[in-house]
Amino acid sequence: MTSAHSARIHLLGRFAVEVAERAIPSSAWRKRRPVEVLTAVALAAGHSLHREELIDRFWPDKDLDAGANNLHRALHDLRRTCGAELVTLERGVARIAEGVWIDVAEFEQATRNPEPEHLLRAVQLYRGALLPEDPYSDTLAARREGLRQRFVDVALRLAAWQRERGDAPGCIAVLRQLLESDPALEPAHRLLMQVLAEQGRAADALEQFGECVSALRQHLDAAPAPATLELKSAIEQGRVVPQPGSSTGGAALSALSPAVGASAVASSGEAPLLPPSAVPPSAVPPSAVPPSAVPPSAVPPSAVPPSVVPSFAMRWLTSVVG
């Protein structure tokens, strides 16, 4: 963690707070309201909320004075738990304090930049669903799904780019992380089958097909698309030729391998970027990803419904197919 950030708030995949490089233990969060106020302000537009909004959300049965007292008490408990002021309250507006880093904000910022190194950063930052400790929250449902769809979008684009530039280990790692988040995403299964076969790992590719069949049946009550079945047949018949330089000895460590990427995020709070040699300044934006990045047999746009793949990703997949 750099000195530029006085504290870090992690909301993707878990709730965690670090202050001055010290992780606040989960046992310290004895009360629910301080956590709810902190996360509400952290996720709000501009990282700020009016006092009345917080009172209406968390103490709807209280009048303004009683609700304000409860809010002050929650902020006091938050300050005492963290040993620092993460949320300020001035002129009736609660704000995240200056210098506090929030993983959701960093993730969203990375997804707005089309360069591959920023796509990689976004994939590394997405460590799971938004606040999974509260899976049934109606307040969080829309934001949680929006973040998941952004992750699907950038991960598909990054994997296609990595395959095109010959980074099979990186591509495989991204696709496996994507399938952990969305096990029934058939285009990701199919692209992973393709890349594994191109690496001379036909047995692994066919095993991936089996996982695809199981996931589709379990989550969507569906069968594989014709393109997936065609790819399986091509692999079985040896018609997917291993690419030059491929290895059957297993994937090497990549910039996003679990041993490297996850540990780096856990230790620093920030996702490591690709080294300069890995992504040159001239790296192509998503709009310039060559059609050969994903063959038509690997990702037809009709493979999954729009509810499974976000519209941006569907437009990208459609452009790939042409």
Percent of the chain at pLDDT exceeding 90: 70
Whether 303 has a pLDDT exceeding 90, the answer reads no
Whether 49 has a pLDDT exceeding 60, the answer reads yes
The pLDDT assigned to 285 comes to 39
The total of other beta-carbon atoms located within 10 Å of residue 117's CB is: 20
The pLDDT assigned to 85 comes to 95
CB 242 within 8 A of CB 198: yes
Residue 97's SS3 state is: coil
The pLDDT assigned to 3 comes to 42
CB 86 within 8 A of CB 78: yes
Distance CA 113, CA 93 (A): 31
Q: Choose among 137, 64, 152: nearest CA to 107.
A: 152
The pLDDT assigned to 229 comes to 98
Distance CA 29, CA 162 (A): 41
What is the per-residue pLDDT across 112-129, written as a single tens digit (0 to 9) for each?
A: 999 999 999 999 999 999
Q: Tell me, what amino acid is at 160?
A: A
Between 168 and 301, residue with greater pLDDT: 168
Distance CA 97, CA 198 (A): 50
pTM passes above 0.85 = no
The pLDDT assigned to 69 comes to 96
The pLDDT assigned to 4 comes to 57
The pLDDT assigned to 300 comes to 41
What is the per-residue pLDDT across 180-234, written as a single tens digit (0 to 9) for each?
A: 999 999 999 999 999 999 999 999 999 999 999 999 999 999 999 999 999 999 9
Quick one: tokens of 228?
A: 């997936």
CB 147 within 8 A of CB 130: yes
Q: Tell me, what amino acid is at 250?
A: G
pLDDT classification of 246: cutoffs 50, 70, 90: low
> How high is the mean pLDDT of the chain?
81
The total of other beta-carbon atoms located within 10 Å of residue 58's CB is: 17
What is the per-residue pLDDT across 53-98, written as a single tens digit (0 to 9) for each?
A: 999 999 999 999 999 999 999 999 999 999 999 999 999 999 999 9
- The predicted model gives 107-116 an average pLDDT of 96
What is the per-residue pLDDT across 132-169, written as a single tens digit (0 to 9) for each?
A: 999 888 889 999 999 999 999 999 999 999 999 999 99
- The predicted model gives 94-111 an average pLDDT of 97
Report the DSSP pairing between strands 7-10 and 100-102: parallel
